[in-house]
Structure 1
Amino acid sequence: MSQVNSQPKSQIAALRDASGDLEQLRKEWLKKPHEATALWQFDRVVNDTIYLIHTLDDVQAAKLGKRWIKLQLKLEMGTHWLNTVDVLRESLPESDHAKLAGAVQRLSKKPLEQCQKILSKSEWTRIRRWWYGYLDALPDRDPIDAIGIERAEKAFHRFSKLKIRVLKHDRFQDWLKLESAAGELRTCLVLRTPNTENGGADIVGFSDIECHIRSWRRIATTLKILDILELTPEIEDDLNITERMSDLRLQQRLRAHKLQEKVRALLTA
């Protein structure tokens, strides 16, 4: 279950905390670039940063949000490749790892090089320059004043519309939009009502919805990568490994289905 921060923060304080987390996670991943954990957490904190930016009443906010989204997209495939490698390592015997190593290295090379470039010290210095230059110029405001009722109601209305669409139509893109809608609404509530009993319960609920969809999205991309790997020359004629890969895909689909069922249960509770 997700934890609720009991101390209300201003938007600027929350953004500075997130920026510190990004810096720490960047360093952690560069020390262990073959592990997915820090990069996946980095992606989550970028999401939180984008949600916070969306609450700002500032003419430059939309532009800065797009810059973070662009950066996130550049890191996306490298992150998913590392997640998929973790799944393969945990699910397949070591003999299969050796057979898959060449294909994995070849196909993941460019996405991972992109991650290395973006998170390198020189590139990160450039990112910090435009980000902190913007952040330092923002006035710090009381969150109750900054996050008006209208903004919170607008976020709730968007979430409610997407909830209906997901339950009725079950379209992939609507699931993705519901994740961001839950994150934006959670962010508004964290800034406005973290100390109230009802506010705390709502924050946990929206956070759980966001978390489950995020995990479901990760599995959906893992399945696409597994499909690509199965068609590579290294393993396409190996019946034993293709059979194990098929079993792995089935397991992943079942996990994805269970996550969607958890979200549906939360949406209809």
Structure 2
Amino acid sequence: MKPTVLLPVVTTAALLAIWEALSGSGALPPEMPPVTDIAAWLWAGLGTAGLWTAIAQTLAHWALALLAGVVLGAVAGAAMAAIPVVNELLLGTVEFFRPIPVVVYLPIMLLLLGATSEVVVTLAALGALWPMLLQTFYGVQDVDPVSRDTARVFGLTPVQRLLWVTAPSVLPYFSTGVRIASTITLLVAIAMELLGAVPGLGNTLGTYAANGLYAATYGSIVVAGLLGVLLNAAFERLERRALTWHASHRHRIA
């Protein structure tokens, strides 16, 4: 095993061992159950339909929100970078709304739509919108003007310039934006499920916590963390495959 992989594994195992020892000695409060209890719940919970249903509901919210956020963010970012008038019209609005936490909109959305999946998807998509918008904006702006002018001089059509000049410049930014947006979307989806009592992993976690089922609460947190790690790893692998030609990925081809 590579040292870069071994060290985090050893560190995590040591921290879990310390947690287990402190919990067994009574040094930790009952709200922090032993690691073995959490592991036992995970082993049993992964064999039940209820947990997998909650995971599927969260993944559905995540997928729909990510798709909407990526499409809207990419279109808006490209338009702002390519068309100065659009940039002037939208820049003030973007700079005003971008720093506002998504959770601020939750009470309004609950009043308008109630505790529904639409609320979770809308707010999670809003969380994904900003990184995609900014990454696409910077990607389009980073197109080499010499290459762009050369393509125009040689008579390439707008579609050809888009495919052979603009797309290679934007793709690394776009890929990074999707990966960042994926993580943010999952975080927002779980948080909105928790706060809005919408069916999903977040609501399941909140229900366990409210009823004092601490091993199940921590187990749900572990499941959410593993879900984020797996999704991020999947997007990293896709990014490496899509950008094998890029200098930053040539030496990392698996």
Q: Identify whether the pair has TM-score above 0.5, normalized to the shorter chain.
A: no
Larger Rg: 2
Give the alignment's TM-score, normalised by structure 2: 0.32
Give the alignment's TM-score, normalised by structure 1: 0.30
